[in-house]
Structure 1
Amino acid sequence: MSPARPPGVRPSNPGRLATYFHVHLVSDSTGETLNAMAKAVTARFDGVIPIEHIYALVRSEKQMERVLQEVASAPGVVLHTLVDRDLREQLEEGCRRLDMPQIGALDPLVGAMSRYLGAALSTRIGAQHALDHDYFNRIAALDFAMAYDDGQGSLEQLEGADVVLCGVSRTSKTPTCIYLAHRGIRAANVPLVPGQEDGERLTRLKNPLVIGLTVSPDRLVQIRRNRIDNLNANPSSAYTDQEAVRDETIRARRAFERRGWPTIDVSRRSVEETAAAITNLLSEHRNHKIGTTW
């Protein structure tokens, strides 16, 4: 006899392997931290698809009552990040009545940090979203990434970057720069265009770290063909031709090697993974321990 499924968990349609369940994310702030944690956790389970219910900016007893009504109508697991003690107790008591599991997502980390530091917790809601120096630095980094995208800007202007990404078309230069900007890193990007820009001018930069983004020819052809299909555009033969693309990527790699730039192969990396590798290289660069290939 198979064990009973917990409330809110149901198998998918016959013939499919996925299992669906409800997850309620309750936060008194924007909910970004909680949402990221929930995605990271559920990604560890194969064949499991969460049905997310997000409740952000929950800051009153009345709002919490509505949350509990929603939880009761779609039983599942409740994850929360709540600073206010009264609201937290209201949610915990409501979940006990409903016999629903509830988890304070940051509790283990916050508890361990508090014990280590011997410091009391802040009761300020959304402290990580304060309009402080870091916040305005991120805004400035976003402005920078948009102003100096796709080869825009003089060398003098690019000197204001923390990092300059260089690569052939469709190596995720722009989205990576935007992602880095959200971390307060000023990133610009310069494309390598066959017969035109080859990145030579970037060798005169003194302050930024220049990183070459590489990609396998097969992967690049696939990405470019998908891009053209989505735009319903007429493909340029050189843009998607296997041999032309192979030559283009080889020239790019040789240019990076000739200039001694560190490189990152983005063939099977997400933007987040590429950004993490860039952050590591930037840290090494600032400590004068630059690596070569990631």
Structure 2
Amino acid sequence: MVQSERGICLGHETVYIVSDSVGETAEYVVRAVSTQFSNEFVEIKRFSHVEDIADLEEIIKSAKEKNSIIAYTIVISSLKTYLDCRSAEEDVMAVDLLSPLMNAFEQKYQTVPNHQPKLMRKLDDDYFNRIAAIEFAVKYDDGRDPSGLIRADIVLIGVSRTSKTPLSMYLAHQRYKVANVPLVPEVPPPAELFKLPRNKCIGLMINPDQLNGIRKERLKSLGLSSDINYASYERILKELDHAESIMKRVGCPIIDVTNKAVEETASLIIDLLNKERS
């Protein structure tokens, strides 16, 4: 059990916040309510990670001595029942902040709650991990900073227009930190690429006819002529040959992205990673 104290404004009233998780939700609610009583002082004592009856007994005793309210967010059924019964016996006001809404959900959707603490924290961690992965993908897109290759979960390599950036972002939403490096004959690949474990790097190849069409459409969307070297068939074959030679040096698995949606390619990449790690 972890205890912390804080005040909202000057005075002498105390509210005990009790939770089998962190207790942030209960504190937000208490703060919101307290603002409606601006002339009163409310001191908050938060008791986080309450996991046994002994903790509750100590809290109830202290709340009774100070004539305080207990506001709680407890989802472990045995602890909630004990707190309700003992608070009533000791004539301590205990307010359940979760059950009314949980009961409404249960009745409306005909489902049973998990009654597991700290699930919100898990959701928060998942959210922030996803944001960190997206920021990583943006920072290390298109070979901008080779130093990120070592810290990436996945490194994608391939010629221009093989969906490296869309794949990086899609995988980032799955919480993978992804960097990508374009392979161009005139530009030596970063030395860091050849220091990577082979199971971290994925090569992307594509049929030259399809790539030719994609590049012509790209030039057209930019208002440029499709006759320039970028979309020429000879140039594409040269780039693909160069890319394949680099991929062989790295020793990485290669995926043909021809006619594949980003989601399909991403699934293949994740499958490859899981096989390599198992």
Please give the TM-score of this superposition, normalised by the length of structure 2. Answer: 0.56
Query: Could you tell me how far 1:146 is from its partner in structure 2?
Result: 0.4
Give the 5 Å matches for 1:74-223: 84-88=105-109, 121-122=113-114, 131-155=123-147, 157-198=148-189, 201-206=192-197, 209-223=200-214
Distance 2:226 2:136 in 1: 32
Q: Taking structure 1 as reference, are residues 253 and 207 closer, same or farther at Cα in structure 2, changes over 3 Å only? A: closer
Q: Taking structure 1 as reference, are residues 128 and 207 closer, same or farther at Cα in structure 2, changes over 3 Å only? A: farther
Partner of 2:252: 261
Distance 1:208 1:186 in 2: 14
Q: Say which SS state the counterpart of residue 190 (structure 1) adopts.
A: strand
Query: Could you tell me how far 1:264 is from its partner in structure 2?
Result: 0.6
Asked if the contact 2:158–2:203 (Cα under 8 Å) also holds between the matched residues in 1, the reply is: yes
Q: Taking structure 1 as reference, are residues 87 and 160 closer, same or farther at Cα in structure 2, changes over 3 Å only? A: same
Asked if the contact 1:221–1:241 (Cα under 8 Å) also holds between the matched residues in 2, the reply is: yes
Query: Could you tell me how far 1:153 is from its partner in structure 2?
Result: 1.3
Asked if the contact 1:164–1:210 (Cα under 8 Å) also holds between the matched residues in 2, the reply is: yes
Q: Taking structure 1 as reference, are residues 241 and 212 closer, same or farther at Cα in structure 2, changes over 3 Å only? A: same
Name which of structure 1's ranges 168-177 and 236-245 shifts more when overlaid on structure 2. Answer: 236-245
Letter paired with 1:253:
E
Q: Say which SS state the counterpart of residue 174 (structure 1) adopts.
A: helix
Distance 1:231 1:123 in 2: 55
Distance 1:260 1:166 in 2: 12
Large movers: runs of 4+ above 6 Å: 127-130
CA RMSD in angstroms, aligned pairs only: 2.7
Query: Could you tell me how far 1:85 is from its partner in structure 2?
Result: 4.4
Partner of 1:41: none
Letter paired with 1:263:
I
Q: Taking structure 1 as reference, are residues 267 and 191 closer, same or farther at Cα in structure 2, changes over 3 Å only? A: same
Q: Say which SS state the counterpart of residue 132 (structure 1) adopts.
A: helix
Asked if the contact 1:165–1:211 (Cα under 8 Å) also holds between the matched residues in 2, the reply is: yes
Give the 5 Å matches for 1:11-26: none
Please give the TM-score of this superposition, normalised by the length of structure 1. Answer: 0.53
Give the 5 Å matches for 1:38-77: none
Structure 1 unaligned spans of 5+: 1-82, 90-106, 108-119, 288-294
Query: Could you tell me how far 1:198 is from its partner in structure 2?
Result: 3.7
Letter paired with 1:142:
I
Partner of 1:284: 275
Q: Say which SS state the counterpart of residue 142 (structure 2) adopts.
A: coil
Distance 1:236 1:166 in 2: 26
Letter paired with 1:149:
D
One of 216, 219, 224 as aligned partner of 1:233: 224
The structure whose residues are more often helix, as a share, is 2
